[in-house]
Structure 1
């Protein structure tokens, strides 16, 4: 392996499974791309989830009073757009290269950040304008899929649980950071200056775009995998894993967007009181995601994911209890544990993807297929499923916010929504037990055959 500091460079014959070359230079290249990928994805998540904070500012005091169901709608729109963009964003990496797409997908975030900064403090701005701006903020949600698709190509299968968990977890922290920023603004200058939250990201977007331009790499192998999503769509495991990710990531992003509004709707919290707690759950869920990947590396992704769903179900029961008892501390504690378990489940579910397809490759080799071809297919499908599962999983966040909007809009309580979430977690647990935790399926998968060369030009 060799490296080169050439703008627009492409890595040729990149093979992270070659242990000697990996230790010599590959690990350093992968780490550099991971760091910059995390930065871009982190900013993307912050812009994507910005409206979970901004709705706390919208009030009659600044001439922007909206009803609770309208605020939930403002939260739903960016989640939906971000989910729908994840598939094309994942495909774009194979079309344009990971570095090139990172530069574009980061720079384009200047659009929602600028529009939000301009309009969010203009009294009398109609709801439909904010819905359009919120839709543009959904661009940040697509960054996750392209980032994960890109980083999958840089790391060997044996390290993907940790690498993907770290990439996603540090990116997910963008939800907590923008909420902490909202708390800082409210506690220092009051709840009438939401433009400060959006404006903070304008120079960061420019900086991240420049760093990606100068220091990231494209992987030529990824660009040859254009039919992978179509092929992956015909594999049943793609949809089983996507369903599991609806439960784990859908819970993380759905609750992360809705938490502040839920506190206001359930307990009548002020903007400052809500902002004081909204960051806590996303912070815990983001920090624990890499550990979910690391646990999955050691114990098996399906087993750890099952543990996470058991914990999420137990936490939901606590939330129902806290709702009946009108206990604010218990409610926040239950949500905090729910975020922790969803973070662990996010990391372990994504670890399942390369493991499942590596197992398929091993079975194909046992049946007489060429080993190099079988494992190349496994890596190709793994990258594609990461994009598909990311898109489907994010739709879970849409469902959660719609469930809350319906429950609070019609009954004034979130209980019906919590019962629905509990039933879905039970379905996911049954799926894991019947499909992935039987017949010794949790044993570690094989790794791909190694190659020797890597070139950069």
Structure 2
């Protein structure tokens, strides 16, 4: 059933969704429509989107905690094998993000949110099997890989929410949506150790009722937007835009770092400082690992909010500068065995990466709005770019843990990896300045978007 949404039927628009519910009239840029109808509907969809995405991130990165808790006697894996278990889900999740992005424009945000939530039952079943049957390592690795289903949820959720909000509020809305999802990592790293104290199997089973609740909530209370339906050919036009690939590269530096550090931090902390402070809750041992993703998640909406006010490019440049300093701090702390500096440097990395996630995702709609005079085209291409950049950026979540593992294997430490991470952030800073902040150097020969204050 299709529903035409106008200010005079606001009450009907806010009613619980029925089967096949599509909203065929959606004008968030219209002030009267937004005040009387749009804001309420958008907020309702945002709430249930955050819930589903939160669970997606929790399931996506669950192996970062499970790996640390695997008994060596039952799972005699090397350090490299353990890093593979936390890195491979990130790779699969990155690859899943592109089809998940286009699924929203094909099936609708409400429909796909419900389906993608139910798909999380696959990795939860895989985890349950892996820790109970104790199969060969390659089977455990395959079970861990299915956690990548959770990674796709972010791309579809961000694409969907981008259609609901007006340009002036997109940074804050996308920041809240992303932060609500990102914080699922810290929620998982805080509570799963408590639950698995009763048995590893409960690390997966604890999420099943929540996943079912998310699917039902999306089905009952979310909406599909007709304006989001776009032919695949029109969406793929964005791959021809140079800024799609520039922003994808920058997102490797921000989100790739956040995801990679979130996955690797528990194991890195255990390897570098085995005697790091822990808290005990009954038989459970809780480490400081959850604090990093928590700080980064909370910083993300701030990055989006600040970008709405001073421009995303400025915020992004500042974040890369801070991340380079954080990398230097980790190298110094690892060399001196200074746990305080180590933790502070990682917290700085998480904070800057989180804020940078918000600022880069705010830049994308602003860039396409500045490059196109057709608002509908700009929205369509920016939504597709959010998914593509999200997929490519998430590859950093695979690369970073693997680089840390390779550094540890080759040198016995992590300093080499973080030295190169610092170089990468320097390159990202230069690219940001060249494309979006440069106002004088070779500006007549190679224009930038500094004038648009993206």
What's the TM-score once normalised by structure 1's chain length?
Answer: 0.91
Encode CA deviations 1:74-93: one digit per residue, 9 max, x unaligned.
01110000000000000111
Shift of 1:444: 6.0
Deviation at 1:30, TM superposition (A): 0.3
Residues of 2 paired with 1:70 and 1:228: CA distance?
A: 42
**RMSD over aligned Cα atoms:** 1.8
| 1:146 has 2:156 as partner | yes
Tell me which residue corresponds to 1:181. 191
| Structure-2 residue corresponding to 1:453 | none
* 1:78/1:287 CA distance change after superposition, 3 Å: same
Could you say if the C-alpha distance between residues 270 and 308 of structure 1 is closer, same or farther in structure 2, counting changes exceeding 3 Å? closer
- Go from structure 1 to structure 2 and tell me whether the alpha carbon gap of 1:26 and 1:284 turns closer, same or farther (over 3 Å shift): same
Aligned residues: 429
Q: Is the 8 A contact 2:436 2:453 kept in 1?
A: no
Equivalent residues of 2:126, 2:144 under 8 A apart: no
Task: Flag structure 2 segments of 5+ consecutive residues without an equivalent.
Answer: 1-5, 280-284, 440-447
- The residue number in structure 1 matching 2:147 is 137
1:450 corresponds in structure 2 to none
| Equivalence for 2:444 | none
Cα deviation, 1:271-327, whole Å, max 9, x if unaligned, reads: 967941110000000011001000000010000000111111111111111011111
The correspondence for 2:211, drawn from 201, 205, 221, is 205
Does residue 218 (structure 1) correspond to residue 224 (structure 2)? The answer is: yes
- Kindly indicate whether residue 392 of structure 2 is the aligned counterpart of residue 392 of structure 1: yes
Q: Deviations over 1:83-136 (max 9, x none)?
A: 0000000011111111111110001111111221233144x4211111111111
Structure 1 alignment gaps of length 5 or more: 366-373, 447-457
Once the two structures are TM-superposed, the CA of residue 445 in structure 1 deviates from its matched residue by: 7.0
Q: 1:251 aligns with which of 257, 265, 268?
A: 257
Tell me if 1:34 matches 2:46: yes
SS at match of 1:324: helix
CA shift digits 1:211-236 (9 cap, x unpaired): 11100100011112433441110000
Q: Which structure 2 residues correspond to residues 260-299 of structure 1 after superposition, within 5 A? A: 260-269=266-275, 275-299=286-310
If asked which structure has higher relative contact order (CA below 8 Å, sep 6+), I would say 1
**Equivalence for 1:434:** 434
Partner of 1:168: 178
**Aligned twin of 2:348:** 337
* 1:230-261, Cα deviation, whole Å (9 max, x unpaired): 11100000000011100000000000000011
Question: 1:155-184: per-residue Cα shift (whole Å, max 9, x none)?
Answer: 011100000000001100111011001332
- Identify the residue that residue 350 of structure 1 maps to in structure 2: 361
Offset from partner CA, 1:32-76 (integer Å, 9 cap, x none): 000000000000000000000000111224x12211100000011
Partner of 2:443: none
Q: Distance in 2 between matches of 1:216 and 1:121?
A: 37
Give distance in 2, aligned partners of 1:216 and 1:162: 20
Match of 1:371 in 2: none
Equivalent position of 2:445 in the other structure: none
SS in structure 2 opposite 1:279?
Answer: helix
* TM-score, with length taken from structure 2: 0.91
